[in-house]
Structure 1
Amino acid sequence: MEPDPRFTLANERTFLTWLSTALALSAGGVGIAALPEDVFVPWIRAVLAIMLVALSALAAGMAYPRWRNIQRALRNQAPLPPPALAALFGYGVALVAVVALVLIVVSLRHV
């Protein structure tokens, strides 16, 4: 059975949002990696960049399987699968933000 087109289109918008989130995470990681060497401790800067780019790859890599699983559930009128990676992304981005915030505050104290 074909699902209601509104649900299919909402699922597609969510898929595209996962991809744009992946692009933003990747851009953030590249931006942090490109900071001058005197900004933040180099190994922490590298860890932040790697975390963001890894989250980006995970978001991009899981976007299509999630879309497909939801589409299958809609067609079969089955319960939707839970957002298994939501906590990982939420906590991962929060961790990067907290570490960056601490580094910014520490660097401002030395100015």
Structure 2
Amino acid sequence: MSMGEPEGDEAVDYRFTLANERTFLAWIRTALALLAGAVAVLHLLPLGWSETPRTAVGLLLALIAGVVTVYAPVRWFRVQRIMRRGDTLPMSALPLITTFVVGLVCLAVLLGNLL
């Protein structure tokens, strides 16, 4: 077993391991996109908003980016360990949380531009 590889009882088909790594990378890309959105809202976009809503939206995006960044390697390790044990993968709440936060940001941008 190599360094950093989760302990378990049985070998995992490399296709599942690679799929798990692709999922990890997708979460990292999501975090980077959220962070880019935060930078854009805080520093680049001429939204015409006052400082408070602009800061709130930017910090919300940065916060969820941080959560996703921490979640990605934890999930990768956990899934790898579960696959080695042959257990069932549990559902994760983070996709719903991320969807909710991005939806809130979309609503804020729409309302901010209409009002």
Same fold flag (TM > 0.5)? yes
- Sequence identity percentage: 36
Partner of 2:27: 18
For 1:87 and 1:73, the matched residues in 2 are separated by 22
Map of 1:31 onto structure 2: 40
Give the distance between the partners of 1:40 and 1:31, measured in 2 at CA: 13
Unaligned runs of 5+ in 1: 107-111
2:64 maps to 1:51: no
| 1:69 and 1:81 in contact (8 A); partners too | no
* Matched residue type, 1:40: W
Residues 35-81 of structure 1: per-residue CA shift (max 9 Å, x gap)? 46772121000000000000000000110000111111111110012
Report how far residue 84 of structure 1 moved: 2.5
CA contact (8 A) 2:47 2:113 kept: no
Change (3 A) 1:96 1:38: closer
Structure 1 moving runs of 4+ over 2 Å: 35-38
State the partner residue of 2:105. 96
For residue 7 of structure 2, what is the aligned residue in structure 1?
A: none
Identify which of 49, 66, 70 aligns with 1:40. Answer: 49
Q: For each residue in 1:84-110, what CA deviation from the matched residue of structure 2 results, as whole angstroms up to 9, or x when unmatched? A: 21221110111011111111222xxxx
**Structure 2 CA distance for aligned equivalents of residues 77 and 17 of structure 1:** 24
- Tell me the TM-score normalized by structure 2: 0.86
- The DSSP-based 3-state class of the residue aligned with 1:74 is helix
Q: RMSD in angstroms over aligned alpha carbons?
A: 1.4
In 2, Cα distance between equivalents of 1:77 and 1:51: 37
TM-score of the two chains, using structure 1 as the length reference: 0.89
